[in-house]
Amino acid sequence: MRLQPDSGWPSQWRDIADTDEAVFLTDELYREMLFGHPLHHLAPVALARRNDNDDVIFLASDGRIAQVHLTWAEREPGWPIVVFHSTLDDWAVAQIEE
């Protein structure tokens, strides 16, 4: 399954087409991460966000897809939760299986 922005995201997700929104969400991710978080040195870029909760899809610099649950709170060990997928297709399959 190939996902295309604005046409192929699952219904509860939407593309982040606005650069300001992408920067805002990436900044929030860095605000929440402690040193040593799995995404800390992977230059994540926000791609999509879920409409009904605080999950955001980031593309990591190593090519993996990271689904992150933002907390909108101060830094805590183990947060924000991140689930990695090898590709966007793998992520899409995981969404179907939920």
pLDDT in tens, 2-45: 444 444 788 889 989 889 999 999 999 999 998 889 998 999 99
Q: What is the pLDDT of residue 97?
A: 62
C-alpha closest to that of 90 among 68, 65, 72: 65
Q: What is the pLDDT of residue 18?
A: 86
For residues 67 and 85, the answer to whether their CB atoms sit within 8 Å is yes
Q: What is the pLDDT of residue 47?
A: 94
Query: Which pTM does this prediction carry?
Result: 0.86
Q: What is the pLDDT of residue 2?
A: 40
Q: How many CB atoms lie within 10 A of CB 58?
A: 24
Which helix (H) or strand (E) segment holds residue 15: the answer is strand 13-15
